[in-house]
A and B are shown apart, each in its own frame.
Chain A
Amino acid sequence: LFQYCLSGHPTLPCNVLKFKSTTIMLDCGLDMTSTLNFLPLPLVQSPRLSRLPGWVLKDGSTFLDKELKECSGHVFVDSVPEFCLPETELLDLSTVDVILISNYHCMMALPYITEYTGFTGTVYATEPTVQIGRLLMEELVNSIERVPKAQSASMWKNKEVQRLLPAPLKDAVEVSMWRKCYTMPEVNAALSKIQLVGYSQKIELFGAVQVTPLSSGYALGSSNWIIQSHYEKVSYVSGSSLLTTHPQPMDQASLKNSDVLILTGLTQIPTANPDGMVGEFCSNLAMTVRNGGNVLVPCYPSGVIYDLLECLYQYIDSAGLSNVPFYFISPVANSSLEFSQIFAEWLCHNKQTKVYLPEPPFPHAELIQTNKLKHYPSIHGDFSNDFKQPCVVFTGHPSLRFGDVVHFMELWGKSSLNTVIFTEPDFSYLDALAPYQPLAMKCVYCPIDTRLNFIQVSKLLKEVQPLHVVCPEQYTQPPPTQSHRTDLMIDCQPPPMSYRRAEVLTLPYKRRYEKIEIMPDVS
């Protein structure tokens, strides 16, 4: 039983499991934090960005000044943003038989795997995962392709040159592996290889292994997976939540009696309670709007935004914000809002029951009907006619490097009345803001991450009692910035086995039995 660890990011995993002659890839997350090293892509010409000085080496050399720009003491690559792919050299990815996707955030590298490695297998995912994953990819491709960049920087990636650069460019890993964004045809080709599955559906792989998706409670259609043979059971837990939000609750019981439990996708902000953060989000939003300022919420087009809109739906009137317009801008805004309403079987019990009533499961439908929430594919067109201030804008991308958010950062950044509220935990908000400095607008960090925290993990492990736990190395020690918080790590017996990027693990379980059938003529 081997595990190949292709990603170092604990919440964007990509592992390959070799189990009984099958090769199974568990998720293919795409690490987008690499884009923070790039300059934002403005939708309209930004005099500020175009005036940024080129970076000059200490010895006065200027050969990089076209590729690298300096802004408030930070150096950025002036090129189309690139992403850090999972390891492709650790094993031959063309040998992968199946890919199991646990949620739509963990499939963003799929086109790179299916279209560039000779992959010929099948991808398994639930319907909402595929549909919303498609929306995320479509938004990503759209945001980058609609702002074509004349130049492409590559000189700085030369190892000799990179060594001379300031941090964090100097320390960026695997820059040679960074790739530009895929295209829509590639997305479509990748998605065509997906076979849809439902919760608890048993899928036989070559008669040797059975895989089953289970509800993980984190997002619409999000799954954990059971991979089992007659005598062995491996559970793959990725991006799970025990909180009562919109998706179906997590199925814990089926995880019991696992020989090995691979645990990834825990909360990235273990010290922040999501309820408290939602409260903080609402308070800051109301405070800004009451003072006449605008609020910008950089976000993905699906996921937490549904819960935020639901929370605002209840809060708007009490906070006296009934007349403040809420705008949701994304090329896929309309599809996202509509999709969420039709996946009834994937929703929590409360929302499922609403299907039988003459009201949609999510209250954002009412916000739209009453014109409190308006959605647009981009800032161009209707939006510019309807735009009124003060207002609240939800738009992507949370990295602040591309998408309509770049425009609003440029537009509102100079006024201290405005506030940008970060709710997505995937990017460091300080790094995201770096190319916009100096910035007058207020910045509030309210990361809302509903995935399991360490207390919940501890209870879960006590409940399901796996024989062995395997997890990313980040979960076996306190966070580097809070080294005294020994409560922020996995505590179980026997201690978990940890892995890091580009490592191959022999999982701590030896197969003892095998079921065989002997043909009568052989015996």
Chain B
Amino acid sequence: MTRECSLLLPRVCAALADPRLPSSDDTCLEKLLDWFRELAESDPTVKLMQDNPCLTEFITSILALPEPSPSILSFTLRLAGILAASENRFQHLQQEQLLVRLFGRDGPLNSSLWEDASVRSGWVEGVHSMMHHQPALHFLCHGGGINTIFTLQGDPSLFVASAASQLLVHMLTLSVESETTKPLTTKDCDWPACARMIIKHIEDSLQSSSASDIEQSLKLLTGLFGSCRAAWTEVLWLGIVKQIKSFLMEETVRAPHALANLLLNMTWSPVFCNDEGSFWALVTSALEHFTPIEASPLAVGILRLYKCPQDVRIQALTVLLQPMDCILRAASQPLEYAGLLDESVSDPITVESLLSSKSSCAGLLCQTLAHLEELLSLVLLPVELPYPSLLRSLMTILQFCNGSVNPTSPLGSTISRILVNCFRVQRSALDVLAALSERKGCDTLIEDLFDVLLAYLESPNTSPTVLKKTFHATSKWLARLQELSCSNNQWQQTEKILKDVFLVLQKRLCSPCWEVRDSSLEFLTVLIQCLRDQDEFRQSLLSSEVPRLTESLLEDPESYVRASAVTAVGHLAFITYFAPESPVAGNLCNKEVSFTANTVAKLQEILSTDPEGFPRRAVISIFTKWLRQGCTGQLEDAEQFVSRVIQTVVHDLDWEVRLGGLELVEVFYTQTICQLGLPKCPYAPVSSAVTTSVPQDESLQIFCRAKLFSFLFQSLCDCDKPVAQRACDILLALRVTFHPISTLKDSQGAGDSPAGCGIAWLQRTLSQGSLAQNFPIDGANGVDFQDPESMMLALGTIDLEELHDELNKSSDHVEKSPQSLLQDILATVGTIKENEADCY
């Protein structure tokens, strides 16, 4: 602790303990506790308390108050806990009788303040903080505090209840691990006293008739098995397994969710997952006895495991897929499809009844679909799902939802009636459909699948959110379709589907709903990104009206749509304007729908005149993308292009646009250096004829001509920090390029030349950062930003590292210090005092 803080702390403690003053705000108190925790952890001795007797005095004075404020009392409890975390300080506080008075029977526990949840929470946290040594353990167990924790497990405040449960887990682990001398086994389990009390509490609660007692114990066990993987947990488990089994045998399983969580946590523990029989038999039993909705989370958890007996995995798969299987069977003729599951392992009656009920059908399906999506999103799925049947089932669900399936069974009719126009199920099914595109084996169904997707894309009844998800799924499957076409040469099918997709996209681009226009443009962009190398795709796209309509949306009244249109037009340019050699693009030109330089001019106009930020950000982003992909060479001279763009964005009010401009500059810089063969770009082919000085001069001249330096130095003083930081990073990179060896020159010592004076001015200006007013870039003050020599001098002279460090300091680096925190608390108190004086 610094001397300043030691001087301030007594005043702060006194202020906090003064009941006449309102409590300091919670954030300050939390920060104060964080600081005390740091101090306490760095030195376990009593020195902290000896050097700062005000801490003990503070606790004493709070205890002396007849009715302290709940927040200060809570703070005191937590502070005492933090201090008592080391055995020495614990003893010190015990000697003063402070811990007993705070955490014992006569403390807040029995006062009216205990009604306040923040006091109970502070008590639990305080105990948790001190629980690092046996004396603390004995203090709690022998002082009766442990019974309070047992009670707090059922606290009406969920935060307190959860904290109490975690505390018990911590105490049990601490007790067993610090108080046993030999490993515990099933034959010899002499639990330490504290552990014995907790285990007895668990056993008693499990045998209780109260559902909430059972649930609390199950939660405690879940926490224990989730955090502790020691062998003794098995000993504990063997003592309660009979009771757990009995829960599963009841007609209605009690606390099924807590039970499922417990079993799931145990499956991850090496103590149990290597078990040969009984544990997994219990898991199987749970899967059988839970209702489908209860069993599904357990099933999906099991299917994520790599280490799991095969029969349990099959059982879990059965549970998860049963609703999908029922859907398939309900919609199809008997024996038409094989279904997803072997009938011998599945008993569909319960699932069928849930699917037949209006209140449970959508819920069950959405849960199943969410779990399937979760599984399919795993890169490595430990279990192989029956993908074709799953896809067929998904398609059936989607057809039920738009009323296009004609079921033959009574169950199918009921489900159809329930699911028609159910957007929730539609959204979930489309999510899974998109995830399924990554999996192999569904190729034979692809044509039917696109019939379903196109029906959704075309239907006026499709809601905007469902449409967005349909677009997503369609783009994923179109990419898959292209892969397939490449391998089996079935281009006709692909062309027909693409034609239909563009026909419907054309209509959607004209939708009066801006969300639809926006997601249509996003869809188009994604398609171009994925498929622009495919001739069939380009042909279908360019022969449709989509490019022309997209371009017209650059003038859409909705800014989001304009931004999406900019992005889409920017991507379209890759297959039109930037690929003139392509026969497809040639064809486009013949149709007089080509992208011309007007399109580029239009984007530049948006950048300089659009009143909204989103379209301007989109333009600068597209320009950067074009430059990165080397397209601007055909636009015009890249140098002129970059120069013009940065002169536009430098005045932009949106910092993200200015930041985008810097990104453009960075790409331009990298490319120029690469082209001229400087070592910045290690992969660039270096011509043997290139010398080190010639390209260096040339590139510097290019940067000066493009007015890069004025933009960069001006950005260094930007009032938005990310802009200044990025500019600084780029200037540092430039300096490394042009001054490979750090040779900072003194600006004063750079001579009394006009350039030297200018640089000195520049350095002074930059040191003011964002406070610098009216940054002149026109050569006033002796700095010519287009003069290579001056810029070389500037790069070599200005201490960019220092600027970099300064910019990278967080904005509250001063305010974050403990000293500042203490001063803040005092200042608040002082202000209040002044106000009080004013009042009287």
Contacts and interface: CB of A to CB of B under 8 A. Distances in A.
Given A279-B516, A317-B557, A318-B558, A484 B510 contact: no
A271 B416 CA distance: 14
B424 to A, nearest CB: 16
B520 to A, nearest CB: 10
Contacts of B548: 290
B557 A278 contact: no
Contact of B512 (A279, A290, A446, A486): A279
Given A283-B508, A284-B507, A287-B507, A273 B558 contact: no
B156 interface: no
B460 A279 contact: yes
A485 B459 contact: no
B554 to A, nearest CB: 10
A154 to B, nearest CB: 43
Contact of B461 (A272, A286, A315): A272
A320 B552 contact: yes
Contact of B545 (A287, A314, A318, A320): A287
Nearest to A319: B510
B525 to A, nearest CB: 20
A486 B552 contact: no
A271 B401 CA distance: 12
B545 A485 contact: no
A271 B461 contact: yes
Interface string B430-474: 000000000000000000000000000001111000000000000
Which of B406, B417, B512, B549 has the most chain A CB atoms closer than 10 A to its own CB?
B512
A414 B272 CA distance: 78
Contacts of A432: none
A484 B420 CA distance: 11
Interface string B543-559: 00100110010011110
Given A278-B512, A283-B510, A485-B403, A290 B552 contact: yes
Contact of A277 (B406, B460, B556): B460
B569 to A, nearest CB: 15
User: Is chain B's binding surface mostly helix, strand, loop or mixed?
Assistant: loop
Nearest to B403: A485
Given A273-B460, A278-B512, A290-B552, A484 B545 contact: no
A148 interface: no
Contacts of B407: 484
A48 B358 CA distance: 56
Contacts of B460: 272-273, 276-277, 279-280, 446
Interface string B504-516: 0011101111101
Contacts of B545: 287, 290-291
Contacts, number: 72
Contact of A273 (B413, B417, B461, B555): B461
B27 to A, nearest CB: 46
Interface in A446-492: 446, 482-487
Which of B460, B507, B549 has the most chain A CB atoms closer than 10 A to its own CB?
B460
B404 to A, nearest CB: 9
Nearest to B463: A276
Which of B406, B459, B510, B549 has the most chain A CB atoms closer than 10 A to its own CB?
B510
A440 B679 CA distance: 65
Contact of A286 (B403, B420, B510, B557): B510
Which of A272, A291, A314, A318 has the most chain B CB atoms closer than 10 A to its own CB?
A318
A282 interface: yes
A267 to B, nearest CB: 13
Interface in A170-207: none
A167 to B, nearest CB: 25
Interface string B798-812: 000000000000000
Contacts of A317: 557
Interface in A203-247: none
A64 interface: no
Contacts of B48: none
Nearest to B503: A287
Contacts of B462: 276
Contacts of B556: 318
A487 B557 contact: no
A311 interface: yes
B681 interface: no
B468 to A, nearest CB: 15
A286 B510 CA distance: 6
B20 to A, nearest CB: 55
B512 A311 contact: yes
Contacts of A280: 460, 507
B526 interface: no
B32 interface: no
Nearest to A271: B403
A318 B557 contact: yes
A395 B350 CA distance: 57
Interface in B643-698: none
B405 interface: yes
A315 B507 contact: no
A485 B416 CA distance: 8
A282 B460 CA distance: 11
Contacts of B510: 282-284, 286-287, 290, 319
A171 to B, nearest CB: 26
Interface string A274-298: 0011111011101100110000000
B512 A485 contact: no
B512 A319 contact: yes
Contacts of B405: 484
Interface in B457-493: 459-462
Contacts of A283: 507-508, 510-512
Interface string B394-432: 000000000101110000010011001000000000000
A487 B415 CA distance: 11
A354 B756 CA distance: 70
Contact of A279 (B413, B417, B513, B549): B513
B416 A486 contact: yes
A158 to B, nearest CB: 41
Contacts of A271: 403, 461
A320 B517 CA distance: 14
A317 B516 CA distance: 17
Contacts of A318: 512, 514, 556-558
A282 B512 contact: yes
Given A273-B461, A276-B459, A276-B462, A486 B511 contact: no
B531 to A, nearest CB: 23
Contacts of A284: 507, 510
Contact of A314 (B417, B459, B512): B512
Interface string B323-359: 0000000000000000000000000000000000000
Given A276-B462, A287-B506, A282 B511 contact: yes
Contacts of A287: 506-507, 510, 545, 549
A490 to B, nearest CB: 13
A320 B512 CA distance: 12
Contacts of A320: 552, 555
Contacts of B403: 271, 482, 485, 487
Contacts of A278: 512
A278 B460 CA distance: 9
A282 B512 CA distance: 6
Nearest to B402: A271
Nearest to A485: B403
16 contacts: A272-B460, A272-B461, A276-B460, A278-B512, A279-B512, A279-B513, A279-B516, A280-B460, A283-B508, A283-B511, A286-B510, A317-B557, A318-B556, A484-B407, A485-B416, A485-B420
Interface of B: 403, 405-407, 413, 416-417, 420, 459-462, 506-508, 510-514, 516, 545, 548-549, 552, 555-558
Q: Which 6 A-B pairs have the closest CB atoms?
A: A276-B460, A286-B510, A280-B460, A282-B512, A283-B510, A484-B406
Given A284-B510, A317-B557, A487-B417, 7 more contacts: A271-B461, A277-B460, A283-B512, A290-B549, A314-B512, A318-B557, A484-B407
